[in-house]
Structures are given as structure tokens and as C-alpha cells.
Amino acid sequence: MLDFDTCNQARLRRDPAYDGVFFTAVRTTGIYCRPVCPVKHPLSKNVRYYPSAAAAEQAGYRPCLRCRPETAPFCAAWKGTQTTVERALTLIEAGALDTGSVEALADRLGIGTRHLSRLFADHIGASPLQTAQTLRIGRAKRLLSDTTLPITEIAFRAGFGSVRRFNAVFLKLYGRPPSSIRRPKG
């Protein structure tokens, strides 16, 4: 968190470079704002600074209705549905669809399955399952290139449920079995 003087100077200048970097809470009104808020400046002795909108709310302040600090740049609400897709991608990369279903993933994100599919179509251009499969293939390809692990172990480490599925996906995508992708060591 920035020091009081830096925040105070940025607030008094209404410096857009600090928008979303800190939030100004006013003790006398119980409201917190963005540094670019167009309202009359409160006295410096009545303000406190917080690193996030959530921290200001945790301290008991409510958001300003004029500058809408909960939607400041760099805040999840400002990024909108992209945040949900990024969270989903993080979970998929961690293997959420290797062992679970799209329904379970949507539940973890607090949205419906159809909405999750629409978000992926809009932001990624592929379904969550297609995205997970692409990630699995990438992991498998790296393991094939970089290790001497047996094909069976690579299939399971990459997130495939069976060697048969692993082979089928490679055959469909590359037109050859995974063993032919492996670089000969030597």
C-alpha cells in the first residue's frame, strides 16, 4: 500500500494513474471513493486510504454512488465476464475437467452450465471441454518430448482418463499415434 502523502496528493490532483490502485474512505460520511471522483474534496484529516474496494467495505464504508468504486479499473467487476473465464481457465489448468464435469466447474464458479459455455464461446472461441482437451494435449506433448516416461503414465499425468482416449485424440489431431511424436533420445 502507498503511503498517506502519495495517496493524498493523487486524490487532490484526481490523478487517473492511481484509479484502482487505492481507495479513499471518508470517516465523516462513511463512503469510499476512487481517487478520480468528481465530488468536493473532503478534508485530509477525515480520509483513510485502502488498497482495495473490499478492504474499504470490510472497514465499514459503503461505495460512492457517483464514482462507483467497486467497478474501478483492475477490480474484478470492471473486467466483467472476463474474470469468470479467467477463473475457469485457472481451474481447468489445475485439472478441474480432468476429474470433474462442466456442471461441477460451473457450480464452483457460481453460474449455470449454459452460461459458462456462452462465456467460453465469446471469450475463447471453444467450449470448456475443448479447452481442457487442448491443455491435456499440450501437457502430453511436453511430457513426450521432455521425458522418457512410458506412454501409459504420460496419458494419465496429462489428464486423460484412459490410454485408449489418449491414443484416439492424438490420432485425430496429428494423424499419428503419440509414440511417433516422441523425439528419439540420442
Active site annotation includes 7: no
Which one of the listed residues 33, 91, 132, 158 is annotated catalytic? Answer: 33
Beta-bridge partner residues of 22 = 19
Which one of the listed residues 10, 31, 37, 143 is annotated catalytic? Answer: 37
CB 50 within 8 A of CB 56: yes
Lookup: cell for 173:
489431431
Which one of the listed residues 25, 31, 67, 132 is annotated catalytic? Answer: 67
Which one of the listed residues 10, 21, 56, 64 is annotated catalytic? Answer: 64
From the centroid of its chain, how far is CA 72?
17
Lookup: cell for 121:
464461446
**How many residues belong to the chain?**
186
Query: Can you give the three-state secondary structure of 17-84, one letter per residue?
Result: HHECCEEEEECCCCEEECCCCCCCCCCHHHEEEECCHHHHHHCCCEECCCCCHHHCCCCHHHHCHHHH
Three-class secondary structure of residue 143 per DSSP: helix
Active site annotation includes 75: no
So which residues are the catalytic ones? 33, 37, 64, 67
